[in-house]
């Protein structure tokens, strides 16, 4: 007797076959790829059994790029062509790169889009191309380990990455030939790896300190929903800064004033080795054997106590961001049930000590902090491709900054506020400013301030084909849609005619986390100034609208419906409003608007009566309905 295989509607005809997907942690210092096998998430090694892939790419003339350990060996002897920490450049412009200063010792050029390009022996390379080369190796490793082609990948990004940085990550994956199932916030992935999504409802802090980025996220698990309450951090702060602090201390102790690129790399490599060693011992020796220079400095000792004093200023920045994230979530440290440590830099004992002091409880460190993000991403990838049919994990991330539109007077109308869970769609209706207006310019902005110059421009587009109507009659609905990856699409539709247009916001570079933090801070410190500026602009717009309406009415009916004295009175009040409008006192403008409105009340009434009389002229009373 033969067996008959039965497949339920909607299921695969071969239910025993799993779809192969991976989770990728694209890190500043190291990257990993992981998958779920036999119900267990695990990172995938290379052919030599090594799991961590150094996020380093070396470019050579007419040769394929070297990625990983091979490239890492040439950080000192071929520093200009060996690119590391490319993640710090993702989605940034050349001005942002200049602020990184000595942390980025490369030769940069700018392309037409504003993206910084790195000059190498193989030509100009963008940060997106460097990241794509790393992702390509990880994808190939996944396919080699699993023995088949991948369906797709979940790629993790810092929670504080803005739209441009997320889009740059997606672009890198596309270049690498990877189907992106979703971009997942690194802290959320870490919480998933610890299985905190399967525990009782609670509030979790994820402290993620990697090689070049820091994230703090406050997550709440409630009724099967993983929601990010607030995020904070800095995409230019991490273990690299620990290394630079140690290297600067060495220079001070040995009176070293100038370093070439190879010497910088040598010092950073020795600093990193000493930092890692002091997580195990109390004292280590900094060796200068192999120093790339004529006069070799003497070897020196570094103690854990000295290391702590060097690390404390950097750690203090992370703790300030952590307290800020708690305030944003309207929580205190006692509200946090678990603290998850993520990122290789959290191996530093001083980091663990300071975090434990802040929260009053030991953080979770049982999973390798280098692997935890990739493991969580693998679990999410397994769910997204349908291998976990009964899985009900729902992840809700949040927007780091508010999104809005420019309105008349250079004001910003917020459509979606910061810390709103995503994916999200919000719509708002606007109208025309002038009679007969047939087009509308739409300016999309990001930020917390009330005036356009104080926010960041994301995109501009136009809605054309609006039927000519009186000012204020048209209804234009503008819709903002942010997907689960944090990417934005804006559409506009005129409701009576149905004409519509849309734009996917895809800038070539974005904001650094420090800029985001500065924008939020500025919105608080300038709240009174912004409120006054908004009121002033609103009154100026109202004054302009009233002056234009009265001017049109006077030209049309002034001589016919007004005496010469009445016309003169209105003109005097209009001139007074023009003077007040150019002042900085919004109260004075409001008062003069009221005076002018009263002066024209009788004129408006006569125009209305006259309009009615003309509409009824020649009609019998019985025919009026």
pLDDT value at position 10?
Answer: 40
The reply to whether omega before 362 is within 30° of 0 (cis) is: no
pLDDT in tens, 186-225: 888 888 888 775 566 789 899 988 877 788 888 887 765 6
pLDDT value at position 510?
Answer: 44
Active-site residue 613, yes or no?
Answer: no
DSSP assignment string, 158-187: -TT--HHHHHHHHHHHHHTT--EEEEEEHH
pLDDT in tens, 30-78: 999 999 988 889 999 998 899 999 999 999 887 888 999 999 988 878 8
pLDDT value at position 496?
Answer: 80
Pairing verdict, β 411-416 and 403-407: antiparallel
d(C-alpha 45, C-alpha 31), whole Å: 11
Q: 78, 87, 275, 370: which one is catalytic?
A: 87
Backbone φ and ψ for 583, nearest 5 degrees, come out as: -90, 175
Stretch (H or E) spanning 51: none
Active-site residue 518, yes or no?
Answer: no
pLDDT < 70 stretches in the chain: 1-18, 94-105, 111-114, 197-200, 223-226, 235, 388-398, 419, 484-486, 503-532, 534, 615-625
Q: pTM of the predicted model, to two decimals?
A: 0.59
d(C-alpha 276, C-alpha 195), whole Å: 28
Q: 96, 186, 382, 397: which one is catalytic?
A: 186
Q: 25, 234, 450, 530: which one is catalytic?
A: 25
pLDDT value at position 356?
Answer: 95
d(C-alpha 445, C-alpha 510), whole Å: 12
Go through the chain and tell me how many residues it has: 625
Report H helices in 556-624. Answer: 559-561, 564-581, 586-599, 601-616
Active-site residue 87, yes or no?
Answer: yes
Q: 46, 96, 163, 208: which one is catalytic?
A: 208
Active-site residue 370, yes or no?
Answer: no
Write down all domains in the chain, each with its CATH number in brackets. Answer: 21-238+312-397 (3.30.420.40), 399-525 (2.60.34.10), 528-616 (1.20.1270.10)
d(C-alpha 78, C-alpha 81), whole Å: 6
pLDDT value at position 262?
Answer: 81
Quickly count: other Cβ atoms within 10 Å of residue 539's Cβ: 23
pLDDT value at position 85?
Answer: 84
């Amino acid at each position: 007797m033969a067996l008959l295989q039965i497949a339920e509607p909607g299921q695969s005809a071969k239910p025993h076959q799993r779809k192969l997907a991976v989770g990728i942690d694209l890190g500043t210092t190291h990257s990993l790829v992981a998958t779920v096998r036999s119900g267990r998430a695990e990172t995938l090694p290379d052919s030599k059994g090594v799991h961590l892939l150094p996020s380093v790419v070396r470019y050579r003339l007419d040769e394929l790029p070297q990625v990983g350990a091979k490239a890492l060996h040439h950080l000192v002897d071929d520093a200009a062509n060996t690119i590391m920490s490319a993640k710090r450049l993702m989605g940034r412009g050349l001005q942002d790169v200049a602020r990184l200063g000595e942390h980025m010792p490369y030769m940069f050029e700018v392309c037409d889009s504003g993206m910084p390009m790195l000059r190498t022996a193989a030509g100009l390379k963008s940060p997106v191309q460097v990241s794509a080369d790393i992702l390509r190796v990880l994808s190939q490793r996944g396919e080699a380990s699993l023995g088949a082609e991948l369906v797709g990948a979940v790629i993790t990004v810092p929670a504080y990455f803005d739209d441009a940085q997320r889009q740059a990550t997606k672009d890198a994956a596309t270049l690498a030939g990877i189907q992106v199932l979703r971009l997942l916030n690194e802290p959320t992935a870490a919480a998933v790896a610890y299985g905190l999504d399967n525990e009782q409802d609670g509030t979790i802090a994820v402290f993620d300190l990697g090689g070049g980025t820091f994230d703090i996220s406050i997550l709440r698990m409630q009724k099967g929903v993983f929601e990010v309450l607030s995020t904070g951090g800095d995409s230019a702060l991490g273990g690299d800064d620990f290394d630079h602090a140690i290297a600067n201390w060495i220079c001070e102790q040995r009176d070293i004033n100038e370093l070439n690129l190879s010497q910088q790399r040598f010092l950073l490599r020795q600093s990193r080795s000493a930092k890692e060693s002091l997580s195990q011992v109390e004292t280590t020796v900094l060796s200068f054997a192999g120093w790339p220079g004529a006069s070799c400095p003497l070897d020196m000792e570094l103690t854990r106590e000295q290391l702590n004093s060097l690390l404390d200023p950097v750690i203090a920045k992370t703790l300030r961001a952590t307290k800020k994230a708690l305030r944003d979530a309207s929580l205190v440290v006692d509200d946090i049930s678990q603290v998850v440590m993520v990122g290789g830099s959290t191996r530093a004992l001083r980091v663990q000590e300071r975090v434990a002091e802040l929260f009053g409880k030991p953080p979770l460190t049982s999973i390798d902090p280098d692997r935890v993000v990739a493991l969580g991403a693998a679990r999410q990838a397994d769910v997204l491709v349908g291998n976990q049919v009964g899985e009900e994990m729902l992840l809700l991330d949040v927007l780091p900054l508010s999104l809005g539109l420019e309105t008349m007077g250079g004001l910003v109308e917020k459509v979606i506020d910061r810390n709103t869970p995503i994916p999200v769609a919000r719509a708002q209706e606007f109208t025309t400013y002038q009679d007969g207006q047939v087009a509308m310019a739409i300016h999309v902005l990001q930020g917390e301030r009330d005036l356009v110059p104080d926010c960041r421009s994301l995109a501009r587009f136009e809605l054309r084909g609006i039927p000519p109507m009186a000012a204020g009659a048209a209804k234009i609905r503008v819709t903002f849609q942010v997907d689960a990856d944090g990417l934005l699409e804006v559409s506009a539709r005129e409701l009576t005619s149905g004409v519509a247009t849309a734009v996917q916001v895809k800038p070539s570079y974005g904001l650094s986390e420090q800029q985001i933090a500065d924008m939020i801070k500025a919105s608080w410190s300038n709240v009174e100034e912004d409120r006054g500026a908004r009121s002033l602009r609103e009154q100026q717009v109202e004054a302009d609208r009233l002056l234009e309406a009265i001017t049109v009415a006077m030209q049309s009916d002034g001589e016919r419906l007004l005496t010469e004295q009445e016309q003169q009175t209105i003109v005097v009040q209009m001139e007074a409003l023009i003077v007040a409008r150019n002042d900085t006192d919004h109260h004075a403008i409001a008062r003069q608007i009221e005076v002018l409105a009263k002066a024209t009340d009788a004129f408006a009434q006569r125009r209305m009566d006259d309009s009615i009389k003309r509409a009824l002229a020649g009609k019998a009373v019985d025919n009026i309905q």
